[in-house]
Each structure stands twice: as C-alpha cells, then as structure tokens.
Amino acid sequence: MQLLASNKVFGGLHQRYSHQAESTQCEMTFAVYLPPQATAEQPVPLLYWLSGLTCSDENFMQKAGAFKVAAELGMAIVAPDTSPRGEGVADDPEGAYDLGLGAGFYINATQLPWAKHYQMYRYISEELPALLEQHFPVTQQRAIAGHSMGGHGALSIAFKNPERFSSVSAFSPICQPTTCPWGQKAFTAYLGSVQQAWQEHDSSLLIKRLTPEQHLPLLIDQGSDDSFLAEQLKSETLVDAAKQLNYAINFRMQQGYDHSYFFIASFIEDHLRFHYKYF
C-alpha cells in the first residue's frame, strides 16, 4: 500500500491509500478513518461506506460530516472507490456518468471489455476486507452502508453475505436495478442480456431469499423530494418485499430532502449510532 494523504481529525486519522488490487487488476484507492480508540491492542469495528454514481473515495469523507460521531463511538470507516480506474480500464465511449469510471455498480462484470477490471463485488466483499483486517487496527465486526448506487451495493452485498455483517443501512438506494434505467444500462453492459444474471444483484429479489435468521437490522432513509425516486430508486419494491416476508426494516421517508450530501449529512449520525448498536 502507498499512503497518499493523512489528516488528524477529531483525535483520529483520516488516511488515503492506493494499492494494486488482484481482483480489479489495477491500482485502487480507498480512504479510511481510524478513531482515536483504534490501536493494535484495541482494534475497533469497521463500517464500509459505498458511494454513488460519479463519486470516488473522497466524497463521503469530505462531505458527510461523520468523523465526530465515529470518534465518539470508536468506529472506523472505510470508503473505497466506486470503480476501477487507470490506463487501460474501460470507460463509456460517450463519457456517460452512469457507466464505466465512477459507475462500477459493485458487481463482477462478465462481458468484454468490462470483465478484466470491473470486479467490484469481489473487491468489496473479499479483497478489501482481507487487506484492512491484516494491516489496520480493526476487528472482524463489520457493518455496511451506502448511497444511491452505493446503497444498492450495500444492500445487495449484505443480502448475499448476511453472515459477514452485523447491520446494513442506505440512503436513497437503487432498490430494483433490474427495472430502472440506470441498472438496465449497467447490467446489460457488464453482465449481458441474460436476466438471471441481473437478478443476482437486485436487492428487491435477493431479500426474498433470506431466512428469518438472516434478517439483518436494516435502516433506509429516503428523501421525499429526490428527483430520482420514482424512475430510478423504486424504494417501494423493497419495502413491499420486506412486508411480505415480515422483515421488520426501518424505512424513513424524510420530507423535503433530496438526493444530495446535504441529505446524508443531516442523518449520518443516526446511521452511525444504528450500526454501533449492533456491533
């Protein structure tokens, strides 16, 4: 790993690193916040934050205002990049924001030219945890959260691996990517036209595979004034599926809030305290 930056904040350290990733076959960047309680003798639990379209590892760390509460609770946070990057990594030829760089969708691509580098599911669920738990003072207690495309990533990864996480939360998640324009475009490119492959990354379908014992504590905040709500996010599909399963999720429609980091900053403390309760 190469340390790119280090800043002291609320008694802890915010650091950015790059490393050569085996899964994505390129250099990946992530940011980690270590609270003041984190030492080799006293490792702390870790929250994975997955960001949305166009974001990198920097957006959440700079805009969410999470460090004060994380320092109080003694919780580490990691924010990986949203896609592979670098020379030779495929990108949308028209420069669209919803495909290619910044739009990895947290899945393993199977179609060319994407398959070589776009292995974000493997990176988030396997390689990055192994790296963090080997080199940083963190425990194997993990929670996962995200926003928009990252909310889709957090939910789908948690539902596919409920034994790895103690809780999951999301802001404005893409709940049914198989039926929304963002998801259909990305899944067609990355996974091809076979719908069964798409279903393996659709949270509104994955939730139905869980047994009652696998029902993780789940908090979702959605802004009522989010311009993407009806066409892209489709939160009602997940809420309806949870009701059918008697899965007691905490879904909160926040009146007047939109899709921005102003929304995330307003409620991030709730999410950190929610996850801490289940560590």
Residues designated catalytic: 148, 226, 259
- The token pair that represents 34 in the structure block: 């270590």
Instruction: Name the β-bridge partners of 29.
Output: 18
- List of residues 6+ apart from 149 with CB closer than 8 A: 50, 51, 52, 53, 82, 103, 105, 106, 174, 182
- The count of other CB atoms within 10 Å of the CB of residue 120 is 28
- List of residues 6+ apart from 213 with CB closer than 8 A: none
Contact present, 171 and 147 (Cβ < 8 Å): yes
CA distance 218 to 251: 8
CA distance 16 to 60: 13
Residues in the chain: 279
